[in-house]
Structure 1
Amino acid sequence: MERVLIADDHPLVRDGLRTVISVAFDQADLFEASSVTEAVEIVAREGDFDLVLLDLNMPDAQGFSGLTLLRDRFPSLPIVMVSASVDGLVVSSAIAHGAAGFIPKSLKRSQIVGAIQAILAGNIYVPDDFGPASDAMTEIDQIRQRMDLLTPQQRVVLGLIVAGKLNKQIAFELSVSMTTVKAHVSAILTKLNVFSRTQAVILANKIGFTGP
């Protein structure tokens, strides 16, 4: 992990997360934002980040509007919600809005590090006591539900990605422009809530998806 953005309006929380990350990932370059607006400006200016830790309650956001804004502007950006609340509905809503994970501020330092490592490995992290077990969808159900969000053309593109095709090869096979292919790939990553083509392929393989 090379670059991390900590977005929280409380300096003490930012300092705490900075300490945890700097100790566990001593090569990481850390950035801080005290609002969603500032976070957007930093990402737009600095480019790619490996991870964004975003506080649920920011002064210039309501509900998950900050998460939604960042996901819309930067669809490949892994964003993790951080909050003092561990309500099951809040956690599930964060994941549904595209968060790569949900880390309670009450976690021990070692647990926060473990959560970050799990997210960097491509997993979606939620607290162990998240929600009633009867309400939790299985991983396969979650993947299939995300797949259902894809348009027919996006399913075709994903099938070609799974087959190992590059963007230029997909463009040739479908007789479309590279711009169109890139738009499809970006939409696929957003809808599947993943941050790379490799992670999309991993999800597809878990349910045996090879294309329409």
Structure 2
Amino acid sequence: MTRILIADDHPMVRDALRNAVLYSCQASTVEEADSLDGVMAALDRLDGDVDLVLLDVTMPGMNGLNGLRALRQRFPATPVVMVSAHEERRLVREAIDSGAVGFIPKSTPRDVIAAALRQVLNGDIYLPPFSESEQAQEAAEDAETADIARRIATLTAQQLRVLELVGTGKLNKEIAFDLGITETTVKAHVSAILQKLKVYSRTQAVVIANRVLADKR
């Protein structure tokens, strides 16, 4: 018996996904939900005994991919495929990194959706195809992120602590108090941080550091 849970707040989308599900795997049971709370309630009722969840990225309660992460934490054995009207490569990659076993854009033809569902139910991961330009753009972004990570790796432990406190919006004198050092020492650390990261302001330093940290979350 194959049980699929379709979670989307738009009835027409749920109907389309239901047709694709029935077409692809002859599911014996198709459950539906229109919010993350509804998904959690259905999985609680079924003791997590669902072969696959089709989860809309922007459904109420999702808060981006935080809903996916919460679902995976609570029901780690339940496979989840993200469904979205957006298909940016970075979003797809983040969804997979957050525990999804597939990502299906809503613009995908029914036959392709059906094939994707069969692929996932067979234990594989499904990713939508991307153009060469999108692949080249991601490669460039990855290279830039790797370069930033290398620069951050040159910071000392104390400089990393200073950078973290700068990111919280604290002034030099507050950082000096927190770390038990002089304000002059803090200024020296900030200057070294800007030089090593090849930026010209505290704000730039925080922005590029957060970019690397966001990719690791």
What is the TM-score of this pair, normalised by structure 2?
Answer: 0.60
Equivalent position to 1:132, from 129, 135, 140: 135
Cα distance in 2 for partners of 1:127, 1:8 equals 19
**Cα RMSD after superposing both structures:** 1.9
Q: CA deviation at 1:66?
A: 1.1
Aligned residue in 1 for 2:20 = 20
Cα distance in 2 for partners of 1:111, 1:101 equals 13
Cα distance in 2 for partners of 1:93, 1:113 equals 23
The one-letter code of the counterpart of 1:59 is P
**Which structure is higher in RCO with an 8 Å CA cutoff and minimum separation 6?**
1
Q: CA deviation at 1:112?
A: 0.2
Cα distance in 2 for partners of 1:23, 1:108 equals 12
Aligned residue in 1 for 2:203 = none
Cα distance in 2 for partners of 1:15, 1:126 equals 22
Structure with more helix by fraction: 2
The one-letter code of the counterpart of 1:125 is Y
Q: Return the index of the structure with the highest Cα Rg.
A: 2
Aligned residue in 2 for 1:35 = 35
What is the TM-score of this pair, normalised by structure 1?
Answer: 0.61
Matches within 5 A, 1:48-59: 48-59=49-60
Aligned residue in 2 for 1:116 = 117
Cα distance in 2 for partners of 1:20, 1:93 equals 25
Q: CA deviation at 1:46?
A: 1.1
Aligned residue in 2 for 1:91 = 92
Matches within 5 A, 1:1-212: 2-47=2-47, 48-129=49-130, 131-132=134-135, 135=139
Q: CA deviation at 1:135?
A: 3.1
Judge conservation of contact 2:7–2:55 (CA < 8 Å) in 1. yes
Q: CA deviation at 1:23?
A: 2.6
Number of matched pairs: 137
Cα distance in 1 for partners of 2:51, 2:26 equals 14
Report sequence identity in percent.
45
Judge conservation of contact 2:7–2:56 (CA < 8 Å) in 1. yes
The one-letter code of the counterpart of 1:37 is D
